[in-house]
């Protein structure tokens, strides 16, 4: 979850010819499968693509991410560049210590990832639906790990086995201060 504070502002109401002020507000955001599915059901297009979102689409996704109740819609128009950077950094964060090393020349999945496809992968891998509230990148990493662990094991070449064993033996010799 991410908490951001949107600063208050003072502005001139031309119609009533008075100064008005809007208080600062702290909102809580969650980049999750739930917010993704809300956004996709409204815009009827995939969110997880290489295409850049319009300003309106981005603001609407931030609305879909909002957990705070009864937020005035004008609050989103007052997001500062720092607020938007924090939100972008939060969305891009892996939220996990897991690193998946892809082999060079590996197969690239060109499938367009939508919320329904993610729900399918959750069901196929017996991932509980409580995980739909996890940070989306963490959930996608778990799905990738399930695919790797459930897939066929790759055989190592003899040269790779010999290199790995030599490294293990060298580490043991160093640890136990022996020569062999």
d(CA 4, CA 79): 9
pLDDT tens sequence across 12-62: 777 878 887 788 999 999 999 999 999 999 999 999 998 999 999 999 999
- Give the pLDDT score at 103: 64
87 within 8 A of 62, measured Cβ to Cβ: yes
d(CA 172, CA 56): 59
Residue recorded with tokens 């500062």 = 80
Helix H or strand E segment including 21: strand 18-22
Residue recorded with tokens 């778990």 = 142
- Give the pLDDT score at 106: 61
Which stretches of the chain score pLDDT less than 70?
103-108
Q: Domain ranges in the chain?
A: 2-92
- Give the pLDDT score at 152: 83
- Give the pLDDT score at 104: 62
């Amino acid at each position: 979850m991410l908490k951001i504070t949107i600063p208050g502002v003072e502005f001139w109401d031309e119609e009533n010819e008075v100064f008005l002020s809007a208080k600062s507000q702290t909102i809580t955001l969650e980049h999750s499968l739930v917010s993704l599915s809300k956004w996709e059901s409204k815009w009827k297009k995939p969110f997880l693509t290489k295409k850049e979102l319009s300003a309106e689409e981005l603001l609407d996704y931030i609305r879909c991410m909002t957990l705070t109740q009864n937020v005035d819609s004008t609050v989103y128009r007052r997001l500062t560049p720092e607020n938007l950077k924090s939100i972008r950094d939060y969305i891009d964060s892996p939220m996990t210590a897991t690193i998946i090393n892809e082999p060079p020349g590996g197969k690239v999945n060109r499938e367009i990832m939508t919320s329904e496809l993610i729900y399918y992968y959750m069901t196929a891998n017996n991932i509980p639906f409580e995980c739909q509230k996890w940070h989306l990148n963490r959930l996608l990493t778990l799905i990738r790990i399930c695919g790797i662990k459930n897939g066929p094991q790759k055989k190592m070449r003899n040269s790779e086995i010999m290199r790995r064993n030599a490294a293990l033996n060298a580490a043991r010799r160093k640890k136990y201060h022996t020569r062999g």
